[in-house]
Amino acid sequence: VDPTVIRRAHLGAGAWVGARDRHGALIASARAVGDGAKHGWIYDVAVAPAHRGRGVGAALVGLLLEHPLLRQTLQVHLQTRDAHGFYRRFGFVELDPGTTRPRMVRRRPTTR
């Protein structure tokens, strides 16, 4: 994807996070959109191949889930082809397994 498109998507998101290596190069990023109450979506979680498996992606997802945009949101959604186990660690469950890009959701219990 064209870096200009990625930059515009992140700037238009309600929340975005990134990670840099010790030289200052961007090695990971993720973004989220939502209404701050009922629904939110996590998009474009990406970690450079050389930095995968070190907890960078988990740190970014954790930061997004604690961001004010998503912290109190009742349902946080995402789509993934191959990272279901990764997102299950954060409480996400599959909504439509067996499809090519199953959606996952993390529901926050409601209190009355």
CA distance 7 to 5: 5
CA distances in angstroms from 104 to 37, 44, 73, 82, listed in the order given: 18, 14, 15, 12
pLDDT attached to residue 6: 83
* Residue 106, token pair as written in the block: 């993390």
Q: pLDDT of 32-64, one tens digit each? A: 999 999 999 999 999 999 999 999 999 999 999
* Residue 25, token pair as written in the block: 């190069």
Residue 112: pLDDT band by 50, 70, 90 thresholds? low
pLDDT attached to residue 3: 79
CA distance 37 to 45: 22
pLDDT attached to residue 98: 78
**Does the pTM of the predicted model rise above 0.95?**
no
pLDDT attached to residue 111: 63
Residue ranges and CATH numbers for the domains of the chain are 3-107 (3.40.630.30)
Q: pLDDT of 75-106, one tens digit each? A: 999 999 889 999 999 999 999 877 777 899 99
**Virtual CA dihedral for 66, 70, 72, 74, nearest 10 degrees?**
-130
